Structure 1
Amino acid sequence: MYRYLVGGIAVAGLVVLGGLAWLSHNLLLAYMVALLSAALIAGMLFYRAFQKKLSSSPGMKAKSPATTTAASTREQNAMDSEVNDSQDLAELMLEQGRYALLLRPQIAASIPPQTLARAQEMLDDEMTLVPCGDTIVGKGVSDSADLPEHLDGRVVHVEGFYLDRYQVTNEQYQRFVDAGGYEQLPLWDPEIVPAILEFVDSTGIGGPRYWKNGTYPSGQAKHPVVGVCWYEAAAYARWVGKRLPTDPEWVKSGSWPVPLPGSRPIQRKFPWGEAFDQNKTNLWGSGKGGTTPVDDFADGMSVGGAYQLIGNVWEWTSSRFGAWQSSMRPLILDASMRSVRGGAFDTYFENQASCDFQSGDKAVARKRNIGFRCAIGLCDLIPDDAMQADETLDQVETYEEFAEVTQ
């Protein structure tokens, strides 16, 4: 810009000088001044056109150092802000126990490695790996002593999956409530959306039936959440990036079948073995009279390390009641009935608290003795060497070994 200012002053000076020469009748001087003025103006115009053409050429646009630095700074700040927001969100999800979401392939690509490592640690601590294999579902429900063994129950293949070590607690479900889980409609099955407003606690606030003022009873943070229907359990599972286990998955995690070549697998009646022991589970005979913390009764855990699959509270599964039954005894029931497994603190008969027994209830039932735990398939997680290695977990291979470990 200053070049044009100097040039303009020079031209103005030449014009004045030419005018004086003309008035003094010095025609030669006036003619020379006119030529210089024209040359100066032409040069200015040429320089301006050249600069304009140069600045409009691709890849040749001139930018001042200050402009370039400012643009780079803005771009870097935007990138840093995006990274920080992503990290903050990931940290919040870890605090909420939603680590399984971070380990899904669609999300893991944008998560820092150290955060993924923490999510993996939480998965290993809070869930147990159940290897793929066959399991028998519906065994012993026919009430027919003369039914051939090969018709007693149905052999179902189960893919490898992770199952919560513990039943979902009041403390964990509180995070879902506080995060507005009852207002996030995409988490809920479409058919139940009109009824969500009915899922309130004893004071009319959205939450489990037996809570008050939007929170669980004092001193029961580690107790299983109860008073939640099947739809509430399914919505929570989606929120944490998991799902409810299927009936075959639940049975396999508790009975831990032993595969036999050319024969049906052998599986336990209870997670700890074949013999009933009321000291290893919270049933009516245990005398507790209510729920206990989910990490109690460690002696009754499954081979894979899942606590209280039997007792404490019944557990919702994703299957309909009557599904996977023996084809010899078809059962036609209301489609709204969902399967529950495992017995509860008020279950009296031991045969109703085995890995084989299936009960059921209305999907909208919100009872004091029904809770749930969650699962997630290996195929839904990012590949991990530790997750994939030795999926059989050193299973015993002979009946003699099975009999020895189940005594």
Structure 2
Amino acid sequence: MPWVRREAYRSCMWQQVRGAIAEVHRRSLWRVLGIYLAAGWGAYQIVKEISEFGDMPTWIPTFAIVVIILGLPIVLGMAVVREPSKTEIKPEQSEEPLGPTTWGMGTSALVVTVIVLSVVGGVTLVSVTGLGRSVLERVASESPVESVESMGNLSINSDPVGASVRIQPLTDSGMIDDSSPIELGVTPTDTATLPSGRYLVQVGMDRWNTASFLVSVAPNSVSTSETTLVADGPVTSGMVFVPAGSAVTAEEMVAVPDFYIDEREVTNQDFLRFVGDDGYTRGEFWPDSVLMGGTVASRAEFLSGLVDSSGLPGPRDWSGGVFPSGMGDHPVTRVNWYEAQAYARWAGKRLPTASEWWRAALGTPGEGSLQERLLDETIRGNFSNEMLEPAGNRETAVSPWGAHDMAGNALEWSATETNSTLIQVMGGSWREPSYKFDPTWVEGRPASFQAETLGFRCALSVRGG
């Protein structure tokens, strides 16, 4: 009868469904699926982290997901197909038959292993071909461990001892690294082990001027440096010590006794104190007469022309007896040689000779070639620029003895005559090319000359005068 056949058919279908469910459970496919998905998710996270850290293409994590999805039916199929027959001989060393669970687990482990090895192999491949170079560079730059071959040693001493020492590393471009300063303790410091490179050193203590200078730490060697501090007195405040030694000049090597020189160029604020103390009207600071244009002018006649734009005594670019707003910490300019001499006498100092100036600027001859030292100074100086900068604005534009802005910023008067009518000027200016910072490049200006690029700094013999 028809209804009997229908019931038989339904019973058969139900038995097949129940058999399929039982077969799924028997083969532990759920367990295989769970293992594969868990391992696949872990592999995906590894790929994602490597991709983000190494700035690799954004499609790589998506590609990993596709690989994991495509591998799923392969794993499940292998678990279903690989079923030992009832006649299969049981291995002697195995206590249980090789069932689908065991096979599925092994398959999942195999696939996950292939994925992980593919990831590692892929990262290695792209690093070799250049696509992963950023990963390697980042690891190298962020690693706190320095190679032993790149380390050197540094010790600092001072006279007097007991000064605190702070150093800051310089970048390859000669700028101060943004990392925190390193405190080395007090002089004489213990030998510190540091990454090789250049450092800005600052040595200071109460009632003494802070000395700033650059040192180089070479790999596998000990670098030592010693500085003589200058007392922060009424005259010597803001000065650095230059020890006796040789100086390179345009004509010959010259022996120079030890002396002091201003750490920075004389600023507008400094010069204002001279003006306010009647510096332009006190005869002891000025010569009795001056040779101007081939004629002799009296002191009164000469001083009558040294006025600012409002007619008051002062540099030519001042007005109302004061400097332009915001320029107090900039080097004073538009002063002639007589004005620079008068200020130096008022301050109890003098202008440096050309040999002293170059001794302060370049250090001891023989410590590297002249061209190397000139290049080293000029790359940090203010040359070929749009404007004059505040005195000492560039912390790394410092000479071996700690004098700032010897290279560039403001051209500077000296006490040395090039001939009977010209006074030597040195250092180059913010408006000029850097090749003018060279002791073999001799420039002279008339003593009455003044310009917006020309300023000065003072010197002092160690025994006064």
Distance 2:425 2:334 in 1: 14
Equivalent residue for 1:324?
none
Q: CA deviation at 1:336?
A: 2.1
2:444 aligned counterpart, secondary structure: strand
Find 1:292's aligned residue among 365, 389, 396.
389
Contact 1:256 1:267 in 2 (8 A): no
Contact 2:235 2:349 in 1 (8 A): no
Equivalent residue for 1:280?
380
Distance 1:356 1:297 in 2: 25
- Mark the CA change 1:197 to 1:302 in structure 2 (over 3 Å): closer, same or farther: same
Q: CA deviation at 1:355?
A: 4.4
Q: Is residue 278 of structure 2 the alignment partner of residue 171 of structure 1? A: no
Q: Is residue 313 of structure 2 the alignment partner of residue 206 of structure 1? A: yes
Q: Which amino acid aligns with 2:417?
A: R
Q: CA deviation at 1:203?
A: 1.2
Contact 2:262 2:457 in 1 (8 A): yes
Distance 1:167 1:213 in 2: 23
Find 1:357's aligned residue among 441, 444, 465.
441
- Mark the CA change 1:126 to 1:355 in structure 2 (over 3 Å): closer, same or farther: farther
1:275 aligned counterpart, secondary structure: helix
Contact 2:374 2:437 in 1 (8 A): no
Q: CA deviation at 1:314?
A: 0.6
Find 1:187's aligned residue among 282, 285, 294.
285
- CA deviation digits over 1:117-174, x for unaligned, max 9? x974566651110111222210xxxxxxxxxxxxxx3121111100000000000000
Q: CA deviation at 1:177?
A: 0.4
1:312 aligned counterpart, secondary structure: coil
Find 1:226's aligned residue among 310, 333, 345.
333
Q: Is residue 412 of structure 2 the alignment partner of residue 315 of structure 1? A: yes
Contact 2:235 2:347 in 1 (8 A): no
Find 2:260's aligned residue among 150, 162, 166.
162
* Aligned pairs (5 A) from 1:363-378: 363-378=447-462
Contact 1:166 1:308 in 2 (8 A): yes
Structure number with higher strand proportion:
2
Q: CA deviation at 1:360?
A: 1.2
Find 1:244's aligned residue among 339, 344, 351.
351
Distance 2:310 2:389 in 1: 24
Q: Which amino acid aligns with 2:245?
A: G
Q: Which amino acid aligns with 1:128?
A: V
Q: CA deviation at 1:279?
A: 4.8
Q: CA deviation at 1:190?
A: 2.2
Q: Which amino acid aligns with 1:360?
A: G
Q: CA deviation at 1:357?
A: 2.7
Q: CA deviation at 1:278?
A: 5.6
Q: Give 1 or 2 for the bigger CA radius of gyration.
A: 2
Structure number with higher helix proportion:
1
TM, length-normalised to structure 1: 0.53
- CA deviation digits over 1:272-318, x for unaligned, max 9? 9343576511111xx3x111100112212001100000111110000
Aligned-pair Cα RMSD in Å: 2.3
Q: CA deviation at 1:351?
A: 1.7
1:177 aligned counterpart, secondary structure: helix
Q: Is residue 438 of structure 2 the alignment partner of residue 338 of structure 1? A: no
Q: Which amino acid aligns with 2:288?
A: P
Contact 2:422 2:446 in 1 (8 A): yes
User: Which moved further from structure 2: 293-302 or 219-228?
Assistant: 293-302
- CA deviation digits over 1:32-58, x for unaligned, max 9? xxxxxxxxxxxxxxxxxxxxxxxxxxx
Distance 1:201 1:351 in 2: 32
1:300 aligned counterpart, secondary structure: coil
Distance 1:366 1:130 in 2: 28
Structure 1 stretches lacking a partner, 5+ long: 1-117, 139-152, 259-264, 322-332, 382-407
Q: CA deviation at 1:255?
A: 1.3
Distance 2:452 2:368 in 1: 30
- Mark the CA change 1:156 to 1:278 in structure 2 (over 3 Å): closer, same or farther: closer
Q: Which amino acid aligns with 2:400?
A: V
Equivalent residue for 1:107?
none
Q: Which amino acid aligns with 1:154?
A: E
TM, length-normalised to structure 2: 0.46
2:375 aligned counterpart, secondary structure: coil
Contact 1:280 1:298 in 2 (8 A): no
Distance 2:370 2:238 in 1: 24
1:351 aligned counterpart, secondary structure: helix
Equivalent residue for 1:105?
none
Q: Which amino acid aligns with 1:343?
A: G
Distance 2:435 2:246 in 1: 23
- Structure with larger RCO (C-alpha < 8 A, sep 6+): 1
* Aligned pairs (5 A) from 1:2-41: none
